[in-house]
Structure 1
Amino acid sequence: MAICDMCGNDYPRSMTITIGGEKNSGGVFDSFECAIAALAPRCGHCRCRIIGHGVESGCNIFCCAHCARAAGHDGLVDQAGHTDGGSGQWKVFDDSREGVVE
């Protein structure tokens, strides 16, 4: 068993995460919750944890383009808009039937 670097729990199904393949860059965690708390960067404006890709400007990372603009980083957008040929409506993905053979 391995001990979680975040909470200290000794857990038999812990995971080791590395960042960029660099040795000693991540840690050992008993859950994704602990890994996120320890490793996810914070938005340069609102300070929330960035769990997705985020947006980057220079050496800064933000949770969304709105926060980047609020911090003075112009030119970033969250969506391309209708000019890209999209309908402007969200596509809903239904994976509840994934792998079902009829």
Structure 2
Amino acid sequence: MSVCEVCGNDYAMSFEVHAQGAVHVFDSFECAIHAMSPVCEHCGVKISGHGVEADGRFYCCAHCARGEGVDSSLIRDHADTGRLAQA
């Protein structure tokens, strides 16, 4: 058994995540997300999906990126799909 590096749970079904030369041990995806996910530069939410990256900064969605002044023409996500299909 391995101990989760976030919550300290000693769990028989823990798992390892290998990232950027380091090995991390977690007992749940929740703990892995908490420890490894980037944080949205605009609203502060943990980004557990694709998100948006602009100029080396991470955002949870295009709306938040635009809120920080990122040029809308450079951002595409599902929120824009309907609008683009009509254009």
TM-score by length of 1: 0.72
Which consecutive aligned stretches of 4+ in structure 1 deviate over 6 angstroms post-superposition?
none
Q: Tell me the secondary structure at the aligned position of residue 17 of structure 1.
A: strand
TM-score by length of 2: 0.83
Give the RMSD, CA atoms, in angstroms: 1.6
Query: Deviation at 1:23?
Result: 2.4
Tell me, yes or no, if structure 1 residue 14 matches structure 2 residue 14: yes
Relative distance call for 1:84 and 1:9 in structure 2 (3 A) is same
Between the two proteins, the alignment pairs up a number of residues equal to: 82
Instruction: List runs of 5+ in structure 2 lacking aligned partners.
Output: none
- Give the Cα–Cα distance (whole angstroms) in 2 for the partners of residues 8 and 23 of structure 1: 22
Query: Deviation at 1:74?
Result: 1.4
What code does the residue aligned with 1:60 have? R
Larger Rg over CA atoms: 1
Whose relative contact order is higher, 1 or 2, with alpha carbons under 8 Å and at least 6 apart? Answer: 2
Q: Tell me the secondary structure at the aligned position of residue 30 of structure 2.
A: helix
Instruction: List runs of 5+ in structure 1 lacking aligned partners.
Output: 86-102
State how 1:64-75 maps to structure 2 within 5 Å.
Answer: 64-75=61-72
Higher helix share: 2
